[in-house]
Amino acid sequence: MFKKVLIGILAALVIIAGLLTYLRSATKKHSPEATATYQNKGLDVVVKYCQPYKKNRIIFGDESTGALQPYGKYWRLGANEATTFNTKTDILVGNKTLPAGLYAMYAIPNEKTWTIAFNTENDRWGATAPSPENDVLRIDVPTITELNITEQFVINFEPNDTALNLILNWDNVKVYVPVAPTK
């Protein structure tokens, strides 16, 4: 009897593991994986994330508007698993030092500014917020409202006079996060 119960439990675990694997791959059909990389000027940075689409939804706004991402609430900067930010060397984000390493990168969007955070809990699936105690760095950056709509969320890099900007762009909002090598 014990052997049959054990076999039943193992079979259920195999089915659940297979189902979870399928669900993870199925969600990426709607929000595909993407990678933004930059290697130059003493920087070697890789950002991995998933790209959701606007699909005629209100993306950013007050909770009362039914916004997908309400102001003042945690956002994983994409869909599916946590967005990761990997730097091979210590860097400056704004004027703060981010040690070399792999981090979960997330945001707390507001109308005029976003808080961008780098957290050591980098292997998370879903929209569950990490523990703020594990934030290594936080920076507030202003938002730019654009006339054109960006249908699919995009993260990329743009060189500037001092080093580069990490750009977050979705809907009619664009955010520039300044990144530079440490001196």
More confident residue, 147 or 11: 147
91-110: pLDDT as tens digits:
999 999 999 999 999 999 99
Q: What is the mean pLDDT of the chain?
A: 88
- Answer yes or no: is pLDDT of 26 > 80: no
Q: How much is the pLDDT for 60?
A: 96
Q: Quick check: 12 pLDDT over 70?
A: no
**Which of 37-41, 114-118, 153-157 bottoms out in mean pLDDT, i.e. has the lowest?**
37-41
d(CA 94, CA 51): 25
User: For residue 126, what are the contacts with CB-CB under 8 A and spacing of at least 6?
Assistant: 80, 81
The rounded distance, in Å, linking the Cα atoms of 30 and 47 is 19
What's this model's pTM, rounded to 2 decimal places?
A: 0.82
pLDDT tens-digit readout, 56-76: 999 999 999 999 999 999 999
Q: Is residue 23 scored above 60 in pLDDT?
A: no
pLDDT, residue 59, reads 96
